[in-house]
């Protein structure tokens, strides 16, 4: 089978050209610390919602916006699918917490046992994620009327996912503290290694990529015509 490289030129092809942050040096980690913090702590979910909402808003004049209905429809469909998945995972985590609390050696100690407290916090966070996800699974039409309303919308739409992350965190803390109290060194060491590996992966992922939502207009962000690419490679 014969393959052609580079691929033949097509006039209707649009390529994406980005400059990864890693090429700008590590100083970009300081100048974009809020974006990096969102990636490491919340997996960039608030940033995803912020960029999506921005794309749905059209500025008419100073501080006056209207909503692009078609882009809002696409965002709403994507958000609904994501929320359904989060609710499903939160339900699984809820069942995991119930199973953990039902262990006889944990249940007999009572609420003074720290892992049990963490498990209850995880259970409550999972419930909050499910309830809030059910409330906002199909976002109501939103038009930006000021900074407060915009930030409030980001917080509300991100609440189910953030509660789910907190639920995971509390559940992991419950297991880790339980292992520590029983001197399970191997499990603790493996957890530390995996946590460091995950952190490194998130930082590297943030450094070498740029955010690009499904509803983004690609020709407005980091794009160059394919003809330019062909000219540079010839």
Q: Could you give the percent of the chain with pLDDT greater than 90?
A: 46
Locate the domains of the chain by residue range: 45-207
**116 contacts 109 by C-beta, under 8 angstroms:** yes
> Nearest 5°: phi and psi at 58?
-115, 125
% of the chain beyond a pLDDT of 70: 77
pLDDT in tens, 28-62: 666 677 888 888 888 888 888 998 998 898 888 87
Q: Quick one: the chain helix, strand, coil %, rounded to 5?
A: 70, 5, 25
Peptide bond into 3 cis (omega under 30): no
143-189: pLDDT as tens digits: 888 889 999 999 999 999 999 999 999 999 999 998 998 888 999 99
d(CA 80, CA 24): 36
> To the nearest whole number, what is the mean pLDDT of the chain?
81
């Amino acid at each position: 089978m014969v393959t052609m490289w580079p691929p033949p030129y097509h006039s209707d092809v649009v390529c994406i050209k980005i400059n990864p942050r890693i090429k700008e040096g590590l100083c970009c980690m300081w100048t974009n610390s809020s974006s990096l913090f969102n990636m490491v702590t919340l997996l960039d979910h608030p940033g995803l919602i912020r960029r999506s909402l921005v794309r749905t808003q059209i500025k008419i004049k100073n501080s006056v916006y209207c909503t692009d209905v078609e882009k809002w429809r696409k965002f709403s469909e994507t958000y609904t699918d994501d929320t359904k998945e989060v609710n499903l995972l939160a339900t699984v985590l809820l069942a995991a917490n119930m199973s953990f609390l039902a262990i006889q050696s944990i249940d007999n100690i009572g609420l003074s046992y720290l892992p049990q407290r963490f498990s209850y916090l995880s259970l409550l966070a999972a419930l909050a994620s499910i309830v809030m996800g059910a409330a906002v699974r199909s976002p109501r039409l939103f038009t930006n009327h000021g900074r407060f309303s915009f930030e409030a919308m980001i917080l509300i739409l991100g609440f189910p996912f953030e509660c789910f992350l907190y639920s995971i965190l509390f559940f992991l803390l419950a297991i880790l503290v339980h292992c520590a109290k029983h001197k399970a060194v191997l499990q603790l060491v493996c957890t530390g290694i995996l946590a460091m590996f995950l952190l490194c992966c998130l930082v590297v992922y943030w450094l070498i990529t740029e955010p690009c939502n499904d509803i983004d207009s690609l020709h407005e962000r980091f794009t160059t015509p394919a003809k330019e690419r062909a000219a540079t490679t010839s």
